[in-house]
Amino acid sequence: MIAPRVATPSPTARAAARPHAETREAMICKAAYLLAERRGFGPGHELDDWLLAEQQVDSWLANRGPPRRYRPR
């Protein structure tokens, strides 16, 4: 039996699905803020928060988007 062909998005469609750089940065900013808030805003972890937020946002974008609370308004 032959498996049905699954349409893969074209590079143009994939690029269109990606948010603008400003939107991605706003999402990272909000995620980093929430990470800092969760740990009580203790100093010295700002870069760690930002880098983890970047990883989270990129993962969300690759998997169809973040939870609503992280989406910019």
CB 32 within 8 A of CB 49: yes
C-alpha R_g of the chain: 16
Cα separation, 54 vs 2, whole angstroms: 41
Give the global pTM: 0.65
Tokens of 57: 């946002």
The full set of domain ranges for the chain reads: 19-70
Residue 5 clears pLDDT 90, i.e. is over it: no
Higher pLDDT, residue 57 or 1: 57
Question: How confident is the model over 8-49, as pLDDT tens digits?
Answer: 656 555 555 667 899 899 999 999 999 999 999 999 999 999
* Non-local CB neighbours of 29 within 8 Å, separated by 6+ positions: 53
